[in-house]
Amino acid sequence: MSENKVPISVITCDMEGRIETFNKGAEEIFGYTADEVIDKKRVSLFSPGLVVLGYVPMWLDEASKKGEYSTETTFVRKDGSQLAASVKITPTMKDGVQIGYCGTTTPLPDKSPEETMPPTAFATKIISVVAITRIPFLTATWIPILAAAAWANSAELGIDMLNFWIAFLAGSMLHLAANTYNDYFDWTSGTDQENNDYFLQLSGGSRAIELGLISEQGLFKLANTFLALSAVMGVGIMYLLGSGGYELAYYGIFGAFSAYFYTGMPFRLVSRRGIGELLIGLNFGPVMTMGTVFAITGVHNWDAFMIGIPLGLLTTAILWINQFPDMESDIKSGKNHLVATIGLKNASYGYLALMIAAFGSLILLNQEGYVEKSGLLMLLAIPIAAFASFKALTEYDKRELAIANWATIGIHFVAGALFSLGLYYNINLF
């Protein structure tokens, strides 16, 4: 404690933000005990969510580059109240290598939290929306919808473009519902609280509630809104399809059930070894391609189901490798998916198997006449898959695996785009 009796907080954390030390001044200022936070919480706990998104990464980067960074900002106590304070951030080192950060915080009793609150840029607000909804993952929906449309066009089934755009929006809304339900139930089940690993922002979903970007109830209402919008759009397509259009409801009900009960009780399908993975593969692959073809043409076609298999396997690979950094916290909260069941090393071979299955199934579908030769354009994505597989096999238990996590999303997007382009424009390189 300083001479003027103002407590000074000294907190150290590792490179992932996990708290390693927490002095008496920190206990007095923030209202937590050391036992409550050391190895259990991250330093982001003490800052408003918009500050974390808009400023904290920059502050840490400046501290690492220059050896120190100081600023005035607003912090959050355990009871939710805010305080104005100055903070000095310095990198912590071991054997010449940075291993974390040290933050020294001094309250500013003469200033209000409003005075020290950093301004929220418009870009930060956009980032917060992206964080809450996880919009970048919507490519897992957009790609199979586009592929289905390209296939329907090449099969000369006749596409209703109004139905296509409504289906595109409905699928996006359903995916957003799934994302937000997932985050809501991961929070209410305690999964997020058990996870204290940033893993380069790929661990633990959006963490929107934890960061204070949205309330628990607000997130649940948002999920319900997305689901309702998807349902309304689905009903619109059924009306436009006319006689027999009601059959689209089968696809919608299956998708809505999966979106809610993937992490929602009482089924919590993600905890039923293999069921969660199977549902993801079906929903973002064969079911979506077949359902899309029906929505835009009014025709049920099992060939449309088959063409979705490679895309479903690639989406499953995204889910699969994103479970690696969450495995320990998932086990603690009862999420007994296949990665948690077989362990990280075996799961790395499972990832390789998914990649082989995805591209192998495409070749088989071409040989069996389900996919035209032009669809083999997708095979150009194999080098990316090989790179990601190598990273998964060699760094399955390291933070560097994050490269493979991002690469897997890229594989799905690139492979799916190539597949769609090949079918639509009849591009034939093989």
Running DSSP on this structure, what letter comes out for residue 8?
A: -
What is the C-alpha to C-alpha distance for residues 251 and 210, in angstroms, rounded to an integer?
33
Phi, psi of 421 (to 5 degrees): -65, -40
Q: Which tops the pLDDT comparison, 246 or 207?
A: 246
Residue 249 pLDDT greater than 60, yes or no: yes
Q: Burial level of 323, CB count in 10 A (0-12/13-18/19+)?
A: buried
Q: Both tokens of residue 158?
A: 């006749």
What is the C-alpha to C-alpha distance for residues 331 and 340, in angstroms, rounded to an integer?
6
Q: What residue has token string 């409801």?
A: 249
Phi, psi of 99 (to 5 degrees): -120, -5
pLDDT at 205: 62
In this prediction, residues 137-141 reach a mean pLDDT of: 95
pLDDT tens-place string over residues 287-332 = 999 999 999 999 999 999 999 999 999 999 999 999 998 888 888 8
CA distances from 2 to 30, 34, 106 (A): 17, 20, 9
What is the C-alpha to C-alpha distance for residues 156 and 99, in angstroms, rounded to an integer?
59
Res. 200 pLDDT band, cuts 50 70 90 = very low
Task: Please state, as a whole number, how many other Cβ atoms lie within 10 Å of the Cβ of residue 28.
Answer: 14
Residue 225 pLDDT greater than 60, yes or no: yes
pLDDT at 203: 53
How many helices and strands, by DSSP H and E, does the chain display? 20, 5
In one letter, which amino acid is 360?
G
In this prediction, residues 163-190 reach a mean pLDDT of: 95
In this prediction, residues 200-217 reach a mean pLDDT of: 75
CA distances from 337 to 275, 333, 334, 355 (A): 8, 11, 9, 19
pLDDT tens-place string over residues 383-427 = 999 999 999 999 999 888 989 999 999 999 999 999 999 999 988
Residue 181 pLDDT greater than 60, yes or no: yes
pLDDT at 1: 46
Residue 198 pLDDT greater than 50, yes or no: no
pLDDT tens-place string over residues 251-296 = 999 999 999 999 999 999 998 889 999 999 999 999 999 999 999 9
Q: What residue has token string 């959050």?
A: 76
Residue 229 pLDDT greater than 60, yes or no: yes
Contact indicator for 22, 14 with CB cutoff of 8 Å = no
Residue 155 pLDDT greater than 60, yes or no: yes
pLDDT at 320: 96
In this prediction, residues 184-206 reach a mean pLDDT of: 68
pLDDT at 4: 58
Res. 2 pLDDT band, cuts 50 70 90 = very low
The whole-chain average pLDDT of the chain stands at: 93
In this prediction, residues 170-175 reach a mean pLDDT of: 98
In this prediction, residues 80-105 reach a mean pLDDT of: 97
In this prediction, residues 234-240 reach a mean pLDDT of: 97
CA distances from 259 to 5, 178, 223 (A): 53, 4, 10
Contact indicator for 269, 276 with CB cutoff of 8 Å = yes
Q: Taking the model in full, what pTM does it have?
A: 0.89
Q: What residue has token string 């669809």?
A: 375
Running DSSP on this structure, what letter comes out for residue 119?
A: P
pLDDT tens-place string over residues 15-48 = 988 999 999 999 999 999 999 999 988 899 999 9
Res. 191 pLDDT band, cuts 50 70 90 = confident
Residue 201 pLDDT greater than 50, yes or no: no
